[in-house]
Amino acid sequence: MSAAKRDYHEDDIRAGLVGSVMGNDPVKANELQKIAVEESRLGIPLIIGFDVIHGLRGVFPIAIAEAGSFDDDLMERTARMAAEESRAYGISWNFAPMLDVARDARWGRVSEGPGEDPYLASRFARAKIRGLQGRTDSAETYVAACVKHFVAYSTCEGGRDYNTTSMSVSQLYNVYLPPFKAAVEEGAATAMASFMASFNDLNGVPCTVNAWTLRDILKGAYGMEGFVVSDANGIRECVSHGIAANERDAGVQAAKAGLDMDMGTHIFRDHLKKAIEDGLLPVEVVDEAVRRILTVKTWLGLFERPYTPEETIRAYAEALPESHAALCREAAEKSIVLLKNEGNILPIKRDAKVSLVGSLAGNAGEVVGAWSMGWEKKDCVSILDGLRNAGATVRYYPCGGPEGELNEDEIQSACNDGDVIVAVVGELISMSGEASSKADITLPGKQRELLERLTASGKPVVTVLMNGRPLALGWEAERLPVLLEAWHLGIQMGNAVASVIFGDVNPSGKLTSSFPFVTGQEPTYYNHPNTGRPAGKSKFTSKYLDAPAKALYPFGYGLSYTTFAYENLRVTDTGDSLDIAVTVRNTGSREGTEVAQFYIRDVTASLVRPVKELKGYRRVALSPGEAREVRLTLSKRNLGFYDNRGEYVLEDGLFRVYAGGDSENVLEQELDVRF
Ligand code: BGC
């Protein structure tokens, strides 16, 4: 696969040496496709891929945020929109969804995936596969997914990108494989999809040449019929890993292990033919790879319709469809998480004079987040624009941001002018995503100092966070009255933030990743295995001397402008299932939506199990005073786990069932379960 943006390798395409390219220019795509179809010997169309991770032109929230909507239908609709837009831009293959369960916020790529929980990540996976690929024979407006990164890439030691990973078989099967398995079950098993092998080594074997993960698990046990592509330059990197003597050796190992397409190097093209002639590689291996790639191209209809119609290209060149902007806004509104709202400072009155502070607030280019490349500036709404669109009286002070110095005069004026100060702080887009690991995940630059100065004014301060990873917010949570987690929400970010700030939208998003007090607590995640010495008062328990023994804000957490109470948890064993019911009551004074969450704990098992595991959730809209019974029928098959041979086991014994509005504040009931 050729990744060059400017050099499109026309001669190589003509010579039949290129089967896929990367790009999002539909005019260029048609030109290249014409060369492939009309001028190459076999006339096989190209498959054109691109990183459409959270939207192309209609950019919606980064995955770590969007999954926090706990709204599967929304996640499917945004993927569907991304697929439609992709096709209009000549792209038929999306390098998404990214399904790496990630628990170390130092890793910059936590932004790209659905968070720390394998169950939520599996629901996200299914929704995305449905949206991208549909369930249809006609793929005209659908794309082939490229599910990535297979596998365990997110467990890079110390959160340092590309670093080594090692883990037990049971951990791999219980935590990291489930979303990939779910994707396969939802449709990526058919020859409609592809997978991308990850850069990392897993227990010493790079995933690019890992026959166990690619052939045995993915293509064997899961029955994935599409193809596997390397990550960019992944085959060559096996030489750097020290697992291959040279490029040819790396190419042969990769092909034998089940890798079907080479991204970023010419290794397959330059070496496999000779390797077959020399008896180093059975020709059947290459035949199989070719068959897999051609079946995906066939499903996509590329042989019948290789070109993007001119009228489609023109339609998108004019303006982003309004329905796409509306969906981006809905997704952004549902992804915002209210972390703290002391004194109910939020929502603020529309006629309040607002001092808006921070360079991120006025920068429309910073709303889109990592891995977004098809957006247009004119579609992007900064927080400043959003507040103005909402009719706010706002004065803007760009002073203070992830980089740069503070400006005394601006701070003074901001403090003097407004009735309320809205401070937008966080990270630049470039601080999360690939190759953006951080050893310190507190607010970068002089932003704490800025917040300290603003709060010293005595005016109410609303802190809006724009970031691509969980931040260590212990300092902020102690000193600041309001924290609104707004992530990188995509092109409609400003409008969404304004709707929440003024109370047109009541926040309902929840955290998909636990936030620590301090960086040194990473990895912090709610579903950790228990220890023999769970954190407690005694010194000799599992904790740090200088940090609390829990997350600052745990998985599933998020406040609303109203309040919810959970009552009357009832669990009934119906033979094959557990019938779980809980009453959720809106105890506040305005309408709101709560994400009711159901967890379990396998109290005694033959392997140490997590202290809690998410098993279901429901979004419930409730008027003030309204109570509703929320039910979950949990099949007992979902109470098992994988052992260290990768076998799924169901063990009789004591279980705890929990229900609540986050992973910590829950009601619980214990019961003995027999299978
Ligand atoms: C990333 C992939 C991405 C690919 C193509 C790599 O560096 O790891 O996630 O799909 O580049 O852009």
Q: Where are the domains of the chain?
A: 321-521, 564-673
Tokens of 184: 């396969």
Instruction: Report the residue among 47, 51, 151, 229 best suited for mutation to probe ligand 1: largest number of ligand atoms under 8 A from its CB.
Output: 51
pLDDT at position 3: 46
pLDDT 10s digits, 607-617: 999 999 999 99
CA neighbor of 29 nearest in space, from 86, 95, 97: 86
For the chain, the maximum distance between any two Cα atoms, rounded to a whole number of angstroms, is 79
Task: Let me know: does 65 contact 311? Beta carbons within 8 Å.
Answer: no
Tokens of 8: 């499109």
**Ligand 1 centre and the CA of 126: distance in Å?**
21
Active-site residue (options: 72, 117, 231, 249): 231
Q: Active site includes 231?
A: yes
What residues contact 455, with CB distance under 8 A and at least 6 apart? 461, 479, 480, 481
Q: d(Cα 395, Cα 244) in Å, to the nearest integer?
A: 60
pLDDT at position 192: 78
Helix 322-335 to helix 493-501 angle, to the nearest 10 degrees? 50
- Residue 92: strand, helix, or coil: coil
Say whether pTM exceeds 0.75.
yes
**Ligand 1 centre and the CA of 232: distance in Å?**
6
CA angle 360, 512, 479 (to 5 degrees): 55
CA neighbor of 227 nearest in space, from 297, 152, 280, 178: 297
Q: Residue 169: is it exposed, middle or buried by C-beta count within 10 angstroms (0-12/13-18/19+)?
A: middle
Task: Let me know: does 265 contact 233? Beta carbons within 8 Å.
Answer: yes
Q: d(Cα 483, Cα 455) in Å, to the nearest integer?
A: 13
Q: d(Cα 13, Cα 27) in Å, to the nearest integer?
A: 16
pLDDT 10s digits, 227-248: 999 999 999 999 999 999 999 9
Closest residue by Cα to atom 10, ligand 1, is 95
Task: Let me know: does 381 contact 364? Beta carbons within 8 Å.
Answer: yes
**Ligand 1 centre and the CA of 609: distance in Å?**
33
Please spell the DSSP secondary structure of 32-82, one letter per residue.
HHHIIIIISSS-PPPEEEE--SS-SSS----HHHHGGG--HHHHHHHHHHH
pLDDT at position 315: 86
Task: Let me know: does 146 contact 101? Beta carbons within 8 Å.
Answer: no
What residues flank ligand 1, with Cβ below 6 Å?
51, 95, 148, 231-232, 434
The conformation of residue 159, written as its DSSP 8-state character, comes to G
pLDDT at position 477: 98
Q: Which atom of ligand 1 is nearest to the CA of 148?
A: 9
Closest residue by Cα to atom 11, ligand 1, is 232
pLDDT at position 191: 66
Looking at CATH, the fold of the domain delimited by 564-673 is given as Immunoglobulin-like (2.60.40)
Look at the chain and count its residues: 675
Closest residue by Cα to atom 12, ligand 1, is 51
CA angle 473, 476, 481 (to 5 degrees): 130
Task: Let me know: does 197 contact 217? Beta carbons within 8 Å.
Answer: no
Task: Let me know: does 203 contact 196? Beta carbons within 8 Å.
Answer: no
Q: Which residues pair with 145 in a beta bridge?
A: 94
Q: d(Cα 584, Cα 564) in Å, to the nearest integer?
A: 7
The conformation of residue 388, written as its DSSP 8-state character, comes to H
In terms of DSSP H, where are the helices of 282-424?
Answer: 283-299, 310-318, 322-335, 383-389, 408-417
Q: What is the helix (H) or strand (E) element at residue 466, kind and residue range?
A: strand 461-466
Please identify which residue in the block is written with the tokens 């040449």: 209
pLDDT 10s digits, 127-162: 999 999 986 666 788 999 999 999 999 999 999 999
CATH-assigned architecture of domain 321-521: 3-Layer(aba) Sandwich (3.40)
Which residues of the chain are under the pLDDT cut of 70?
A: 1-6, 135-138, 188-189, 191
Please identify which residue in the block is written with the tokens 């539909």: 26
- Residue 579: strand, helix, or coil: strand
Closest residue by Cα to atom 8, ligand 1, is 231
Q: d(Cα 502, Cα 388) in Å, to the nearest integer?
A: 12
Tokens of 407: 């400006």
Q: Which atom of ligand 1 is nearest to the CA of 112?
A: 9
Dihedral of alpha carbons 341, 108, 644, 120, sign: positive
Task: Let me know: does 366 contact 377? Beta carbons within 8 Å.
Answer: no
Question: Residue 368: left if φ>0, alpha if ψ -120 to 50, beta else—which one?
Answer: alpha
